[in-house]
Structure 1
Amino acid sequence: MAFTTTVGQSGQSVLTRAFHAIAGGLVTYMERQSRQDQIQRLEAKSDAELAAMGISRDRIVSHVFRDRFYF
């Protein structure tokens, strides 16, 4: 039995592109999960504690993901 792969314009096979898409999705999922703990720790702090850190309560998520997204 022979296997063939289709090569797109970028020179990557369909299987390679699919693998990269799945891997990218898993990385994104794991980053979100690991940062959820940090978000919960910050949400548990008082407003005064957050203010001392220079964070307002409504900006917790953007603070945690500041290296990934520009708000």
Structure 2
Amino acid sequence: MGRPHFQVRLGAFAKSDSPIQLASIKDARQYRIGGYKGDAKTQFLLDRGIEVQAALRDAENVRKLDKG
């Protein structure tokens, strides 16, 4: 196989006092993950078997994170 055509960079957020550390995408499977409906990064995670709670707006995911 040749080199990849592009790379996908994903960011993850957690509360500052959270002990969560992700070394790979597979590590995310055990957590609730928020994403955006129709977003390519959300689809990337779904394609890899990671459940994503999709939201329409940034504020929705911030509220979910704040509530835990």
Q: Same fold (TM over 0.5)?
A: no
Q: Which has the larger radius of gyration?
A: 1
Higher relative contact order (CA 8 A, sep 6+): 2
Length-normalised TM-score, structure 1: 0.23
Query: Which protein is richer in helix relative to its size?
Result: 1
More strand by share: 2
